[in-house]
Amino acid sequence: MTGEEFKTVRTNAGLSLRELGELLRVSDLRSLQRWEDGTKEVSGPVSVLMKLLRDGVWPVA
C-alpha cells in the first residue's frame, strides 16, 4: 500500500490521524504521518487492516 492509498483510505473513512491511530492502536502519530507521506513503508498488518477499512469489512463505529 502506498502512502497516497493510505491517506485516501483514512480520509474516505472520515478519520483524523489521531482517530486512525486509536483505531489501529498506533500511538506514534509520526509513524502514521510517515506512512502517509511515503517515507516509511506501511507494515504488513497495518496494510491488511487498511484494506479491510477501505473495503468496508472493518466498519468505523
Note the pLDDT tens digit of each residue in 3-46. Answer: 999 999 999 999 999 999 999 999 999 999 999 999 999 988 99
Question: Is residue 49 assigned to a domain?
Answer: yes
Q: What angle do CA 32, 10, 26 make, to 5 degrees?
A: 35
Q: Tell me, what's the pLDDT at 61?
A: 60
Question: Is residue 61 assigned to a domain?
Answer: no
Using DSSP's 3-state secondary structure scheme, residue 56 falls into coil
pTM greater than the 0.75 cutoff: yes
Domain count, the chain: 1
Using DSSP's 3-state secondary structure scheme, residue 25 falls into coil
Domain housing 47: 3-55
Question: Is residue 60 assigned to a domain?
Answer: no
d(CA 42, CA 35) in angstroms, rounded, equals 6
Question: Is residue 51 assigned to a domain?
Answer: yes
Whether 13 and 53 have beta carbons less than 8 Å apart is answered as yes
